[in-house]
């Protein structure tokens, strides 16, 4: 039986660090603040926005939710973003996705000031992750890195196989992993003989959004398995890894829930703090 990569325990330590850093800013007269824009009433987005509010407040971060009706014009959303870009009291801005169809997601994502783009979706930040520069990067790929490093798993020199090439997890993760000096293979739905590749992994990361895709015979004995998937199933959520089977062959494995997902909200908060540093020009 594999050992667990305990996301909840890692999140607790991470939140404590963030809470302290927020307290330090407040002592200096800066109240870190996150603004979230929710257009329409996508039920998952409502839950995620509320969860960010709860975590913000528990860490001493100010939070404001802007809820706009589903038929809000794109220009109106852009006007709100412009106002928040210019508001020195707001350090992080994120827009809950999906947006209603009449709004061009790309224009919205490009409108947020890169230094306030705590979701890491602005084209400039997507570029910085490639070039290895300081920037704001998406929370879920950062969560994969943090759960490994903070559980004592070395990344450098390992063969990391990522399954999934999505814009929010798989693709950005390639560059974060490379920065940690691992060798990276990226696989996806069109990869022939997927299990050949996954069996080569010292560290296997699943981020495809297909429930229990990764089976026992796809994992090298003793490998570290990180599950970044969140799939809704009757009665709850499950990951991209068939946990019950894979736990018998892996050396370490992250559960869902209680794994990678436990860190993502905290990493949004850390991005707000990173954003403050960028906004002040002292690249921290
Ligand atoms: N519009 C939008 N906003 C988001 O914020 C958003 C999104 N879409 N799409 C997906 C990602 C992922 N994300 C998570 C946040 C918290 C947990 C979390 O706290 N998970 C707990 C379990 C929570 C439960 O039991 O339901 C855990 O894994 O331990 C997970 C995942 C937000 N996202």
Structure tokens given for 270:
């850390």
CA distance 216 to 214: 7
The pLDDT of residue 106 is 97
CATH architecture of 29-113: 3-Layer(aba) Sandwich (3.40)
- CB-based burial label for 25 (10 Å; 0-12, 13-18, 19+): middle
- Cα 125 to averaged position of ligand 1 atoms, centre (Å): 22
The pLDDT of residue 283 is 44
User: How confident is residue 282, by pLDDT bands cut at 50, 70 and 90?
Assistant: low
Whose Cα sits closest to atom 22 in ligand 1? Answer: 257
Same-fold call for 29-113 versus 139-262? yes
Residue 26 is labelled as binding a ligand = no
CB 38 within 8 A of CB 67: yes
User: How confident is residue 284, by pLDDT bands cut at 50, 70 and 90?
Assistant: very low
Q: Which residues contact 99 (CB under 8 A, 6 or more apart)?
A: 39, 40, 77, 105, 108
The pLDDT of residue 129 is 98
Residue 230 is labelled as binding a ligand = yes
- Cα 153 to averaged position of ligand 1 atoms, centre (Å): 24
% of the chain with per-residue pLDDT over 90: 98
Whose Cα sits closest to atom 30 in ligand 1? Answer: 261
Residue 86 is labelled as binding a ligand = no
Structure tokens given for 205:
């990361």
% of the chain with per-residue pLDDT over 70: 99
Is the predicted pLDDT of residue 10 greater than 90, yes or no? yes
Mapped onto helix, strand or coil, the DSSP state of residue 137 is: coil
Whose Cα sits closest to atom 19 in ligand 1? Answer: 262
- Ligand 1 pocket test: which of 42, 168, 257, 259 has the largest number of ligand atoms within 8 Å of its C-beta? 257
Q: Which pLDDT tens digit goes with each residue over 247-279?
A: 999 999 999 999 999 999 999 999 999 999 999
Topology of the domain comprising 139-262: Rossmann fold (3.40.50)
- Ligand 1 pocket test: which of 34, 36, 40, 48 has the largest number of ligand atoms within 8 Å of its C-beta? 48
Residue 166 is labelled as binding a ligand = yes
- Ligand 1 pocket test: which of 56, 164, 230, 259 has the largest number of ligand atoms within 8 Å of its C-beta? 230
Is the predicted pLDDT of residue 54 greater than 70, yes or no? yes
Q: If you average pLDDT over residues 88-113, what whole number do you get?
A: 98
Other C-beta atoms closer than 10 Å to the C-beta of 45 total 18
- The residue extents of the domains of the chain are 29-113, 139-262
C-beta of 97 in contact with ligand 1 (< 6 A): yes
Rounded-to-5 percentages of helix, strand, coil across the chain: 45, 15, 40
Mapped onto helix, strand or coil, the DSSP state of residue 251 is: coil
C-beta of 230 in contact with ligand 1 (< 6 A): yes
The pLDDT of residue 281 is 86
ipTM of the complex: 0.92
Q: What is the pTM of this model?
A: 0.96
CA distance 9 to 273: 21
Is the predicted pLDDT of residue 68 greater than 90, yes or no? yes
Q: Which pLDDT tens digit goes with each residue over 135-192?
A: 999 999 999 999 999 999 999 999 999 999 999 999 999 999 999 999 999 999 999 9
């Amino acid at each position: 039986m594999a050992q667990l990569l305990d996301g909840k325990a890692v999140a607790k330590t991470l939140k404590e660090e963030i809470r302290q850093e927020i307290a330090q800013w407040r002592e200096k007269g800066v109240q870190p603040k996150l603004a979230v824009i929710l257009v329409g009433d996508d039920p998952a987005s409502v839950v995620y926005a509320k969860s960010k509010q709860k975590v913000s407040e528990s860490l001493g971060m100010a939070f404001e939710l802007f809820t706009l009706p589903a038929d809000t014009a794109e220009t109106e959303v852009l006007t709100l973003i412009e106002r928040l870009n210019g508001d020195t009291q707001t350090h992080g801005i994120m827009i809950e996705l999906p947006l209603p169809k009449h709004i061009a997601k790309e224009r919205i994502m490009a409108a947020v000031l890169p230094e306030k783009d705590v979701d890491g979706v602005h084209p400039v930040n997507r570029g910085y992750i490639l070039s290895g520069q300081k920037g704001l990067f998406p929370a879920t790929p950062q969560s994969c890195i943090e759960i490994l490093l903070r559980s004592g798993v070395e990344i450098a020199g390992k063969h990391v196989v990522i399954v999934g090439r999505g814009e929010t997890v798989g693709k950005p993760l390639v560059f974060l992993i490379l920065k940690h000096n691992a060798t990276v293979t990226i696989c996806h739905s069109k990869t022939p003989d997927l299990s050949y590749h996954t069996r080569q992994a010292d560290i296997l990361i699943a981020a495809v959004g297909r429930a229990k895709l990764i089976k026992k015979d796809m994992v090298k004995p003793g490998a570290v398995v990180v599950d970044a998937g969140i799939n809704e199933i009757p009665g709850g959520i499950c990951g991209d890894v068939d946990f019950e089977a894979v736990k018998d062959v892996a050396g370490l494995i992250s559960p869902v829930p209680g794994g990678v997902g436990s860190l993502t909200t905290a990493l949004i908060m850390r991005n707000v703090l990173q954003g403050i540093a960028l906004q002040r020009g002292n690249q921290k």
